[in-house]
């Protein structure tokens, strides 16, 4: 059975049936008796003083149940939205945490900042009433770009933070890095922008809340990747509700990508309003509203320098980054461009000295937080771009320079100069396989063939490592996290031997119902169809930290393996009694407890029944029942790594970049379900290519208006923009968790932007181009080609 359904099997997904038949249960699908509809009134200004809000006329409109503002929240003692992961900067200075009110107070700080919440019987009535809310603003100059935010005399987003700096952070050894540069034979330099993105899961965010005054209880259904954390942050810090009176449910969630792993204002306001209105209240975000209210991603401006010796060995790396935090701190804001960025700058290389400084700054834009990869794509982009620049300048083959600097396989565990200790990995093995799969040496022929059609062909390579499996609590709390990052799992064995698994992680596309079943099936020897996997409901699952940072298999799966093993331990005790053998003599394999050296055995089902019907049971020494919970706190991050190679073709007449081939070889540790891992990696690659070629979140620099506020202007990747992508896995198991898994959710977005831009730059290198900012849109590429005087002479 295990070969077909256990670890390593491409078991078809258990969750599919409800989705292909339209029976998924997403938050927007939920209807409650007497439910009212809520609509937010949002600021049209990037920065303005909020002078007054007049709701008199709106309140008199038909169907209006209530209209609420920040003053109403204040009157009820509602707190601001907390930051869960602040960091400490230079000179031990903590990151600044200005109050982030759930509905704006005093000032609005970005377009879309919510100022009022209108609840009415129907959506149409709520929208009409929202139109009638009169808000008087005194517009203020807006600061949009991170460089502008740091200029002397720049507008201050917060009056008490005149320099707009949230934190000035550093990692690494500045003196050692200076010394490395002093002895360098060559220094490569690069300035780059990591473009701002909007995550855009296909399901817009939504929330439904209701209050039962007879029990004093609150239920919130929300599109969240971590319902327990919403319960904790909202209950404890924002609404001050007792934890045992709150239930948060994240039912089917239509993609997250980090966008849904923050505690959002709307969740708290909807929950609070349901109590005020004494009606269930529903809010469903529209897509264009999502552009103005979902936390955004990336948005860095960086200068990097790489010092090399005459043979192209890396001696030192210096990186200075300015990162946008937006108009308020989102839940994990300051952690993303610091810990999840600077600590990854060693990459897969032996660079002995690294120093990185990051200034995180406030601007009048949406808050910026984690988006698939979160900090690690930015780090990989810096590193893999500057390695290519150095290789070009020194005339070294791009694969060769990487090999020359790569951490050798026998050097693991490897301590980097930026705090990480990589437990395992074989990026060199990944590289060899990727080079072979794409036929690296045959590229010249393909380039010539493209040239014969008037196209410029380029090839780009990236070798990367990332840290995921978030996170070891001991390390994370030292880095500023205000909570543990362990995971919990419960294995509930029914009297029949069927199993319900309760997970603290959350699946919103990752297929946990299948992979968690495989973990249990493998260990207990029961078929996956006898296993039900439950998550996303704080009343059913005791606790959990949710899903982000590719943690579900590495941390959640490890908790599940541990809980399952506890069940086996107790099962052996029961079986030993039933078989009149000593516990040490009882073994468990393929769903059967056996006495070694005899043909005596009991099935898992026999033991489960005995645990619930203890007619022959050691009740004096053993409790009846068979259910075990385990908490698992990892000792380290996990470190997936790999090599990606892309080929692009550029039409010099139009500047259109076409991705024509893509190969990824990833070491994500042990693979539980190859089909699902392949799907995760391909999906991630396409999202990352989206950043490299299409997607760009653009604000008007002077007004702070969002110019890319819908799918009309924000270019989401489409099916016809991609070739067949080749994904292979190259396994070195993680050394510190029971399953050997590392995580696969983010490797695609981490590696592919750098890979594709390296290919684009390669295609244009003969024009003297050494960098192209993202997205490499037709407009940008056409300009570069024409500035090089190539447009007219192309052939």
Partner 1 sequence: MQIRFQLNGKPVTVDVPPHELLSELLRDRLGLTGTHVGCDTSQCGACVVHVDGRSVKSCTTLAAALEGATVTSIEGLADGAALHPMQQAFHEKHGLQCGFCTPGMIMSSVEFAKNNPDPTPEAVRHWLEGNFCRCTGYQNIVSSVQAGAAAMHAQRKGA
Q: In angstroms, rounded to a whole number, what is the distance separating the alpha carbons of residues 533 and 743?
A: 20
Nearest CA among 522, 508, 507, 533 for reference residue 561: 522
x/- contact string, 637-656, with partner 1 (CB under 8 A)?
Answer: --------------------
Q: Between 202 and 621, name the residue whose CB sits nearer to ligand FES.
A: 202
Whether 650 and 455 have beta carbons less than 8 Å apart is answered as yes
22 touches partner 1 by CB under 8 A: yes
**Runs of H (alpha helix) within 62-173:** 70-75, 123-132, 146-149
What are the φ and ψ backbone dihedral angles of 740, each rounded to 5 degrees? Answer: 75, 15
Q: In angstroms, rounded to a whole number, what is the distance separating the alpha carbons of residues 482 and 122?
A: 40
725 touches partner 1 by CB under 8 A: yes
User: Per CB under 8 A, which region of 42-50, 104-112, 353-361, 715-723 contacts partner 1?
Assistant: 715-723
203, containing H or E segment? none
> What's the burial of 544, exposed, middle or buried (CB within 10 Å: 0-12/13-18/19+)?
buried
Q: Between 243 and 710, name the residue whose CB sits nearer to ligand FES.
A: 710
Q: Between 149 and 725, name the residue whose CB sits nearer to ligand FES.
A: 725
Residue 682 CB, shortest distance to ligand FES, in Å, is 12
Q: Between 29 and 173, name the residue whose CB sits nearer to partner 1.
A: 29
Residue 466 CB, shortest distance to ligand FES, in Å, is 23
Q: In angstroms, rounded to a whole number, what is the distance separating the alpha carbons of residues 25 and 595?
A: 46
Q: Between 102 and 671, name the residue whose CB sits nearer to partner 1.
A: 671
User: Per CB under 8 A, which region of 140-148, 416-424, 612-620, 718-726 contacts partner 1?
Assistant: 718-726
The full DSSP string for 591-615 is: TEEEETTSS-EEEHHHHHHHHHS-S
- Rule CB under 6 A: which of 254-273 touch ligand FES? 254-255
Q: In angstroms, rounded to a whole number, what is the distance separating the alpha carbons of residues 314 and 354?
A: 10
Taking CB within 5 to 8 Å according to partner kind, which of ligand FES, partner 1, none is near residue 682? partner 1
202 touches ligand FES by CB under 6 A: yes
User: Per CB under 8 A, which region of 45-53, 379-387, 682-690, 728-736 contacts partner 1?
Assistant: 682-690
Which residues, at least 6 apart from 127, have a Cβ–Cβ distance to it below 8 Å? 39
536 touches ligand FES by CB under 6 A: no
613 touches partner 1 by CB under 8 A: no
Residue 123 CB, shortest distance to partner 1, in Å, is 8
Q: Between 199 and 528, name the residue whose CB sits nearer to ligand FES.
A: 199
Q: In angstroms, rounded to a whole number, what is the distance separating the alpha carbons of residues 541 and 490?
A: 8
According to DSSP, the β-strands at 48-54 and 107-108 are antiparallel
16 touches partner 1 by CB under 8 A: yes
Residue 19 CB, shortest distance to partner 1, in Å, is 3
20 touches ligand FES by CB under 6 A: no
Helix, strand, coil fractions of the chain, as percent rounded to 5 = 35, 25, 45
Q: In angstroms, rounded to a whole number, what is the distance separating the alpha carbons of residues 488 and 1?
A: 27
User: Per CB under 8 A, which region of 13-21, 48-56, 264-272, 453-461 contacts partner 1?
Assistant: 13-21
Taking CB within 5 to 8 Å according to partner kind, which of ligand FES, partner 1, none is near residue 659? none
Residue 716 CB, shortest distance to partner 1, in Å, is 5
Q: What is the dihedral of CA 11, 14, 15, 17, to 10 degrees?
A: 110
What are the φ and ψ backbone dihedral angles of 380, each rounded to 5 degrees? Answer: -65, -35
Provide the sign of the torsion angle of the four alpha carbons 397, 402, 405, 411, taken in this order: negative
Q: In angstroms, rounded to a whole number, what is the distance separating the alpha carbons of residues 468 and 637?
A: 6
Taking CB within 5 to 8 Å according to partner kind, which of partner 1, ligand FES, none is near residue 619? none
Considering only 43, 125, 194, 200, the residue that binds partner 1 (CB under 8 A) is 200
Q: Between 255 and 497, name the residue whose CB sits nearer to ligand FES.
A: 255
Taking CB within 5 to 8 Å according to partner kind, which of partner 1, ligand FES, none is near residue 113? none
Residue 281 CB, shortest distance to partner 1, in Å, is 15
112 touches ligand FES by CB under 6 A: no
Q: In angstroms, rounded to a whole number, what is the distance separating the alpha carbons of residues 483 and 229?
A: 10
Considering only 66, 82, 227, 255, the residue that binds partner 1 (CB under 8 A) is 255
Q: Between 257 and 639, name the residue whose CB sits nearer to partner 1.
A: 257
Considering only 158, 181, 237, 722, the residue that binds partner 1 (CB under 8 A) is 722
Q: In angstroms, rounded to a whole number, what is the distance separating the alpha carbons of residues 606 and 592?
A: 9
509 touches ligand FES by CB under 6 A: yes
746 touches partner 1 by CB under 8 A: no
Q: In angstroms, rounded to a whole number, what is the distance separating the alpha carbons of residues 383 and 636?
A: 23
Three-class DSSP labels, 503-538: ECCCCCCCCHHHHHHHHHHHHHCCCHHHEEEECCEC
693 touches partner 1 by CB under 8 A: no
Residue 509 CB, shortest distance to ligand FES, in Å, is 5
- Rule CB under 8 A: which of 24-83 touch partner 1? 24-26, 28-29, 31
> What's the burial of 712, exposed, middle or buried (CB within 10 Å: 0-12/13-18/19+)?
exposed
Q: What angle do CA 202, 205, 210 make, to 5 degrees?
A: 145
683 touches partner 1 by CB under 8 A: yes
Taking CB within 5 to 8 Å according to partner kind, which of partner 1, ligand FES, none is near residue 204? partner 1
- Rule CB under 6 A: which of 662-691 touch ligand FES? none
Encoding tokens for residue 350?
Answer: 């032996």
Considering only 196, 231, 398, 508, the residue that binds partner 1 (CB under 8 A) is 508
Which residues, at least 6 apart from 615, have a Cβ–Cβ distance to it below 8 Å? none
712 touches ligand FES by CB under 6 A: no
Q: In angstroms, rounded to a whole number, what is the distance separating the alpha carbons of residues 393 and 400?
A: 14
Residue 11 CB, shortest distance to partner 1, in Å, is 10
> What's the burial of 634, exposed, middle or buried (CB within 10 Å: 0-12/13-18/19+)?
buried
- Rule CB under 8 A: which of 276-295 touch partner 1? 286-288
Which residues, at least 6 apart from 346, have a Cβ–Cβ distance to it below 8 Å? 354, 416, 417, 418, 420
Considering only 3, 75, 175, 202, the residue that binds partner 1 (CB under 8 A) is 202
Residue 99 CB, shortest distance to partner 1, in Å, is 31
According to DSSP, the β-strands at 657-667 and 586-589 are unpaired
Q: In angstroms, rounded to a whole number, what is the distance separating the alpha carbons of residues 516 and 200?
A: 27
- Rule CB under 8 A: which of 563-592 touch partner 1? none
Distances in whole angstroms, Cα of residue 673 to Cα of each of 4, 249, 262, 511, 553: 11, 27, 28, 10, 11
User: Per CB under 8 A, which region of 17-25, 84-92, 607-615, 625-633 contacts partner 1?
Assistant: 17-25
Q: What is the dihedral of CA 218, 221, 227, 229, to 10 degrees?
A: -50
Residue 24 CB, shortest distance to ligand FES, in Å, is 11
Q: In angstroms, rounded to a whole number, what is the distance separating the alpha carbons of residues 239 and 231?
A: 10
What is the DSSP code (8-state) at residue 26?
A: B
Which residues are 296's β-sheet partners? 368
Taking CB within 5 to 8 Å according to partner kind, which of partner 1, ligand FES, none is near residue 20? partner 1
679 touches partner 1 by CB under 8 A: yes
480 touches ligand FES by CB under 6 A: no
User: Per CB under 8 A, which region of 54-62, 239-247, 251-259, 398-406 contacts partner 1?
Assistant: 251-259
Taking CB within 5 to 8 Å according to partner kind, which of partner 1, ligand FES, none is near residue 586? none
Residue 201 CB, shortest distance to ligand FES, in Å, is 7
- Contact footprint for ligand FES (CB under 6 A): 202, 254-255, 509
* Contacting residues toward partner 1, per CB under 8 A: 12-13, 15-26, 28-29, 31, 124, 200-204, 252-255, 257, 286-288, 508-511, 675-676, 678-680, 682-687, 710-712, 716-720, 722, 724-725, 748
């Amino acid at each position: 059975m295990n070969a077909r359904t256990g670890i390593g099997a491409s078991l078809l997904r258990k969750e599919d049936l409800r989705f292909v038949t339209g029976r998924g249960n997403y938050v927007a699908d939920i209807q409650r008796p007497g439910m009212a509809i809520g609509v937010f009134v949002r600021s049209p200004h990037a920065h303005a003083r909020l002078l007054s809000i007049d709701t008199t006329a709106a309140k008199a409109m038909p169907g209006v149940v209530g209209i609420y503002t920040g003053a109403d929240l204040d009157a009820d003692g509602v707190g601001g939205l907390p930051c869960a992961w602040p960091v400490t900067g230079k000179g031990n200075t903590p990151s600044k945490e200005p109050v982030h009110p759930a509905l704006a107070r005093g000032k609005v700080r970005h377009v879309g900042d919510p100022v009022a919440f209108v609840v009415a019987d129907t959506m149409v009535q709520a929208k009409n009433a929202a139109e009638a809310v009169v808000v008087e603003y005194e517009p203020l100059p807006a600061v949009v770009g991170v460089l502008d935010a740091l200029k002397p005399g720049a507008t201050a987003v917060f009056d008490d933070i005149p320099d707009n700096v949230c934190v000035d952070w550093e990692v690494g050894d500045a003196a050692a890095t200076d010394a490395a540069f002093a002895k360098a034979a060559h220094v490569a330099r690069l300035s780059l922008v990591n473009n701002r993105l909007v995550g855009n899961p296909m399901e817009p965010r939504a929330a439904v809340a209701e209050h039962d005054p007879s029990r004093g209880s609150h239920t919130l259904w929300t599109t969240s990747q971590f319902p327990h954390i919403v319960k904790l942050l909202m209950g404890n810090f924002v609404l001050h509700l007792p934890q045992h009176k709150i239930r948060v449910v994240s039912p089917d969630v239509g993609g997250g990508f980090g966008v849904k792993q923050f505690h959002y204002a709307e969740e708290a306001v909807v929950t609070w309003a349901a109590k005020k209105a004494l009606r269930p209240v529903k809010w469903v975000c529209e897509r264009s509203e999502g552009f103005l209210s979902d936390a955004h991603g990336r948005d860095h401006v960086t200068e990097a320098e790489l010092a090399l010796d005459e043979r192209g060995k890396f001696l030192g790396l210096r990186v200075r980054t300015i990162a946008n935090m937006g108009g308020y701190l989102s839940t994990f804001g300051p952690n993303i461009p610091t810990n999840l960025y600077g600590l990854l700058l060693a990459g897969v290389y032996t660079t002995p000295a690294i120093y990185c400084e990051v200034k995180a700054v406030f601007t009048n834009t949406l808050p910026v937080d984690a988006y698939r990869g979160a900090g690690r794509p930015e780090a990989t982009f810096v590193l893999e771009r500057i390695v290519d620049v150095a290789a070009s300048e020194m005339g070294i083959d791009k694969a060769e320079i990487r090999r020359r600097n790569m951490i050798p396989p026998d050097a693991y565990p490897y301590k980097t100069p930026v705090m990480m200790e990589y437990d395992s990995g074989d990026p060199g093995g990944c590289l060899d396989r990727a080079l072979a799969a794409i036929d690296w040496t045959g590229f010249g022929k393909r380039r010539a063939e493209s040239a014969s059609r008037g196209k410029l062909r380029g090839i780009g390579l990236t070798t990367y490592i990332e840290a995921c499996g978030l996170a070891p609590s001991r390390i994370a709390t030292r880095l500023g996290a205000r909570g543990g990052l362990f995971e919990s799992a419960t294995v509930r064995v029914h009297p029949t031997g069927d199993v319900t698994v309760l997970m603290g992680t959350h699946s919103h596309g990752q297929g946990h119902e299948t992979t968690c079943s495989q973990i249990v099936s493998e260990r207990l020897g029961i078929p996956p169809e006898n296993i039900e996997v439950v998550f996303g409901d704080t009343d059913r699952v005791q606790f959990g930290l949710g899903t982000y940072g590719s943690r579900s298999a590495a941390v959640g799966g490890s908790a599940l393996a541990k809980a399952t093993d506890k069940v086996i331990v107790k099962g052996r005790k029961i079986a030993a009694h039933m078989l009149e053998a000593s516990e040490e003599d009882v073994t468990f394999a393929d769903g059967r407890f056996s006495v070694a050296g005899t043909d005596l055995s009991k099935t898992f089902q026999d033991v489960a029944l005995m645990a619930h019907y203890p007619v022959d049971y050691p009740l004096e020494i053993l409790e009846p029942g068979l259910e075990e919970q385990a908490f698992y706190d990892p000792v380290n991050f996990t470190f997936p790594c790999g090599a990606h190679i892309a080929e692009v073709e550029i039409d010099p007449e139009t500047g259109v970049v076409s991705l024509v081939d893509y190969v990824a070889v990833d070491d994500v540790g042990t693979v539980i379900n190859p089909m699902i891992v392949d799907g995760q990696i391909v999906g991630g690659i396409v999202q990352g290519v989206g950043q490299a070629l299409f997607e760009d979140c653009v604000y008007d620099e002077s007004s702070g208006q969002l110019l890319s506020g819908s799918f009309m202007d924000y270019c989401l990747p489409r099916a016809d923009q991609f070739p067949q992508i080749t994904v292979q896995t190259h396994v070195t198991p993680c050394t510190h968790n029971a399953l050997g898994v590392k995580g696969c959710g983010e490797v695609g977005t981490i590696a592919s932007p750098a890979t594709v831009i390296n290919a684009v730059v390669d295609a244009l290198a003969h024009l003297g181009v050494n960098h192209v900012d993202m997205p490499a849109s037709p407009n940008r590429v056409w300009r570069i080609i024409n500035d090089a005087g190539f447009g007219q002479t192309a052939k």
